[in-house]
C-alpha cells in the first residue's frame, strides 16, 4: 500500500484543494481498501485501477456530504497549501514559481464541474488510460473522452480568465 499512498493523496488533494482534508480522505480510502480487499478481482482490472475506483467513490460520497458547506465557503478558505519539496536542482525562484502555478492550476480545477474535473485529473494528472478511466467512472469510453476534452477546454478558458496562458 505504501507505493500507492502518494497517488491516493494526490487524487484526494486535487479534488479537495485542502491537504489536511486530503490526508483524512486518504486514510479513509486505505481503511476502505482493507475492509473490502476480498472483493478485488484481478480479472476485472489492475489493482491501481480498482484503488482509483474506490478513491473516486469515496470522493463522490464526500462531495455529496459536504456540498452545503462548500456553498458557503469563501474563495480564500479554499486556496490550496502547496507542499514544497527540497531538491538541490530547484532554486527558490523555481520552487516559488512551481508552487504558484500549482496553486493556480488547483484554483482553475476547483472551478470545473465535478464530472469534468475528475476526468481531467484522472487523465492528465494521474496518467490513467482511457479504459482505466472508463472503469473508474463507470461510463462509456466516448463519455470519458468527451469529458476530458470539455474539461481541458473549460480549464483553458478558466485559466485564461485568470491571466494564465497555456505556453
**pLDDT given for residue 83 in this prediction:** 41
Give the mean pLDDT per block of 10 residues along the chain (167 residues).
85 88 92 88 84 88 72 42 47 68 84 91 87 90 94 90 73
Burial of 86 (C-beta count, 10 Å sphere; 0-12/13-18/19+):
exposed
Q: What fold is seen in the domain 1-77? A: Rna Polymerase Sigma Factor; Chain: A (1.10.1740)
Domain covering 91-167, topology: Arc Repressor Mutant, subunit A (1.10.10)
> CA separation (Å) from 7 to 31, 95, 138?
16, 21, 20
Domain ranges of the chain: 1-77, 91-167
Give the separation between CA 123 and CA 16, rounded to whole angstroms. Answer: 17
Residue 68 confidence (pLDDT): 57
User: What count of residues does the chain have?
Assistant: 167
Q: Mutual orientation of helices 141-161 and 92-110 as an angle, nearest 10°?
A: 120
Residue pointed to by grid coordinates 496553486: 103
- SS3 of 19, please? helix
- Decide whether 1-77 matches 91-167 in CATH topology: no
| pLDDT given for residue 76 in this prediction | 38
Amino acid at each position: 500500500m505504501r507505493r500507492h499512498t502518494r497517488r491516493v493523496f494526490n487524487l484526494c488533494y486535487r479534488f479537495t484543494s485542502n491537504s489536511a482534508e486530503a490526508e483524512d480522505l486518504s486514510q479513509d480510502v486505505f481503511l476502505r481498501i482493507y475492509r473490502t480487499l476480498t472483493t478485488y478481482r484481478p480479472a476485472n482490472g489492475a489493482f491501481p485501477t480498482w484503488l482509483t475506483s474506490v478513491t473516486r467513490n469515496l470522493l463522490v460520497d464526500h462531495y455529496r456530504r459536504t456540498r452545503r458547506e462548500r456553498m458557503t465557503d469563501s474563495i480564500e478558505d479554499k486556496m490550496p497549501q502547496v507542499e514544497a519539496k527540497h531538491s538541490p536542482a530547484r532554486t527558490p525562484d523555481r520552487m516559488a514559481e512551481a508552487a504558484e502555478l500549482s496553486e493556480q492550476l488547483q484554483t482553475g480545477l476547483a472551478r470545473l464541474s465535478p464530472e469534468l474535473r475528475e476526468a481531467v485529473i484522472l487523465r492528465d494528472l494521474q496518467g490513467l488510460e482511457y479504459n482505466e478511466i472508463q472503469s473508474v467512472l463507470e461510463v462509456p469510453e466516448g463519455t470519458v473522452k468527451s469529458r476530458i476534452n470539455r474539461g481541458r477546454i473549460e480549464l483553458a478558458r478558466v485559466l485564461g480568465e485568470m491571466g494564465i496562458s497555456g505556453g
